[in-house]
Chain A
Amino acid sequence: MEEPATPGEVPARPISIAIAAMGGQGGGVLANWIVTLAEQSGWLAQSTSVPGVAQRTGATLYYLELLPWSGGQAGHGTPPLALMPMPGDVDIVIAAEWMEAGRAIQRGLVTPERTTLIASTHRALSVQEKSVPGNGIADGGKVFEAARQAARSLVAADMAAIARRHGSVISAALFGALAASGAIPLPESRFEDAIRSTGVGVEASLAAFREAASGALAGADMARTGLAPRCAPEMVAGHSDVLTERLGQRVLSLLPAGVHELALAACRRLAEYQDTAYADEFLERIARFQGLGGIAVDGEAGEVLFEAALRRIAAAMTYDDVMRVADLKTRASRFDRLRREAGLERGQILVVTEYFHPRLEEVCGTLPRALGTFVEENRFLGWLLGRTFARGRRIRTDSLPGFLTLALLARWGRYRRGTLRHAREMQHIDDWLALVRRFAAKDARLAIEALHCRVLVKGYGDTLAGGRGKFERIMQAAQALEGRQDAADWVRRLRDIARKDEDGSKLDGALATVHSFLSESSRSPPG
């Protein structure tokens, strides 16, 4: 297989290749294939890496130089090859993850004079991005803009998906894209030979290699490079027959055309959560926003207000409680999904263990209002039940005792309206909406921001309590700000801070600012 390339003139410069990857992605496999490719073509090849501790999931870089020249023997007398990339002087950059492509561009490795950038558009989120409560995911579109300007040519596609489709590794897809890019002047068959000669998982690797190489790369699919910040309102999965004709008619007559689809989705969600009467209750709450402060139903401001109201009130009314979770956990469609997730075929057994840790509050919340209050206020019962629920529960939903218990709890949801939790939630919602309506009468923008603040109230246990606390504090600030020109802006600012603030300290700081300038302006009213 080995044949000497033309000895002749020493090329002025080697082909330099940087592979930007994360530890554990197998960047070394790709480097080995490239070295094999070059050596089997009679070229000189050298690769280096600095794995160090980066082998454990951190960002890392492999560097290769290939010299299309066979004039010398290995070692002495051959041109020395460099051991690290020099910014501005790299011919090919291969990024095994989209943000790593961004990092390579930032390091100056990608330049319009020289560099072919081959990158996988998939994302492996960093701890930094994942930890943010809310949405902290970096905008992949910005990497695309930078890549288009920085690279001489760009090959970008979801290489991880290609690899997955063929049960192979991302290196195989990247190697295919490298072959197709033409940046290394060798035929594709040579690339395939390099994969074959390593002898591990050859067929799967070749399949991924070929798909990546075969022109699937024309034009990157940018929709997949980042997570869309907000999804289009689509029909909620589940029962499609729950929406009666009557509800549909009511939506049409009540709301501006721009939000009909969202309103229908919301009604479906409500009906599916409880029943169609619950959707009616929802629409009644929405209806109370009509004609407030002269907001025209069909005007643009009306649409924005109704959109916010629909989105947030629907979410608030479908709060997460024990019955809701039990319902979601025992649906037939869920078990189908879990079997697919586990990759199980017929005749194979799936065991599903749920991790529940309901607390006393949640248990009391599911009881009828009077009983729940009684238990909460009775110290002995509280102590007894508190002990019972101090430990988490492992419930096997594939076993009949576990499944039937949860199915029964889900059924108890029919009586949700009578529970303590429901009474409290509705009270909370109605207090909030009364305030929002008061805002809407004078300042529609403030009302909209106050509606969106409800996004803070979510989850279970401590998360829910913390979120509710932040929500209440911002609502108080909103009332204090009411009447000011910048009230809506401040409420939005506070909400954005609160969404990314785990322990509430940043929100405290922002609220202190608000209160200080409010107390100042109360001393000297603006002229």
Chain B
Amino acid sequence: MADLKMADAATKPATATGASPVLAVQDLQAWYGESHILHGINFNVNAGEVVTLLGRNGAGKTTTLKSVMGIIGKRTGSVRFDGQEIIRASSDKIARMGVAFCPEERGIFASLDVRENLLLPPIVRPGGLSLEQIFDLFPNLKERLDSQGTKLSGGEQQMLAIARILRTGARFLMLDEPTEGLAPVIIQQIGHTIARLKKEGFTILLVEQNFRFAATVADRYYIVEHGKVIDGFANADLQANMDKLHTYLGV
């Protein structure tokens, strides 16, 4: 019961703003085969926000992103994107509505070169970044266009994975641990990129273990534990919530 109350409290500040959220997730449950992973996820993301899901390993953050994307086979509850219910939609339909996903393992294709990887996701609506703008953000990629996708360094692969979803015109990006395993310099570069995307009006749902990194880009946080959202607060209240946060994350 206590959990439920906190989850309600977490969604309140978002709904109180009046404008309807870009993404509204209510009582989302999801299963991998027989195992029940998400037990009722509730959160909202408003237009232009960067929202971060925090939580320990195995809490259900990645599963939440995959459920929104429609990749998880069995899911119940409600996921509304731009006011439309997408809980039963297939992932290609969800992508066509303007949701883009950058997976934790990056998903760079070995049998495609960098150019093919970059051009792979189809344009789903007008307004995506041009190749020029993308090379402006990630100059490294321009020099490696003819390399095999998986020959890039980890950082370059991450940039490629983000770059290719910026072309599509999707305005809602889900990034799963974009800093995992990367050098501090690259993490900084990715932080700048996210800040710039936010300034250009992208809405971003981020999953991060690296809470220090998240603090530099996020507007709001939700804490995920055992497949539920147990708490949420704005970036302004971060310091006040520091003790709680340390308990949640075990750091």
Q: Do A and B come from one complex?
A: no
